[in-house]
Every structure is written in C-alpha cells, then in structure tokens.
Amino acid sequence: MNPLTLPLRFTARVISGRSRGRTLGVPTLNLDLRDVPPDLQDGLYAGRAIVEETEYQATIHWGPRPTFGDTRTFEVHVIDADIPAPSQTVTVEIVQFLRAIEKFPSAEALTKQMHEDIAKSRDILGS
C-alpha cells in the first residue's frame, strides 16, 4: 500500500456508533468504513468536517480501538460544536497525521490524550 497524499477529501455516510465518545465527553460522528479510502494509514489526524455546507475543524480517528478491545472505526470529533443529528453524509478533509493508534491503560488516560489531540488539531488548523 502506498501512503495517500494529504490533504485528502472524501464523502462518507454517517452511521450509528456506540456513543462511547459522548460518554467520554468527546462526541464523534461515526462514518461507514466502506467509504474510507482503502490506503489511508491507521491513526489520528487533524482535519475538517463539512456538514450541511458548514465547515468545522475536526480531530479524526481511523483504525482499531485497542483500549476497549473494539472494532475498527472512522470517527470524526467536530471541535467546539455539537452536531446531534447531522445529514446522512459528511465530507471529510484529512489535513495532517497527528499520531499512531495506542492502547491506553484506562478510559481516563485515553480521554486526556484525546484532549491533547484536539488541542494539537486546533494549532495545526489555525484556531
């Protein structure tokens, strides 16, 4: 597999998730894995989400969720906005790789890292 060139933009269908991000205080939009470009490297990314013609800054997770021993997901956390019922599709722009997927010792440690990822995304995206 060749790494994809960033920025990368694609549109994906929104699907139901487990709402774990919401319970951790970092809600996400879960996207259909069939819509994700196949050569995208697992990891965390800074990017943007375009929802119903409005562009938002975002932190994006693509890959397994080892802290919870869970399946692969493509999750988009929209920074500084809550989108409870988005349209059926979201356009995602992946701007920069942040870090590799890690397994954390607890949900609290993961949540702390997620807030650091969000802060780094803000810096990269100019907020």
pLDDT in tens, 26-59: 888 999 999 999 899 999 999 999 998 899 999 9
* Topology annotation, domain 8-125: Elongation Factor Tu (Ef-tu); domain 3 (2.40.30)
- Give the CA diameter of the chain: 39
Q: Which of 46, 43, 47 is nearest to 63 (CA)?
A: 43
What is the predicted pLDDT for the residue at 4?
72
Q: How far is CA 81 from the centre of its chain?
A: 14
Flag whether pLDDT at 24 surpasses 80: no
For residue 118, give the DSSP letter. H
Q: How far is CA 34 from the centre of its chain?
A: 15
Mean pLDDT of the chain: 88
Residues 39 and 106: their CA atoms lie apart, in Å, by 30
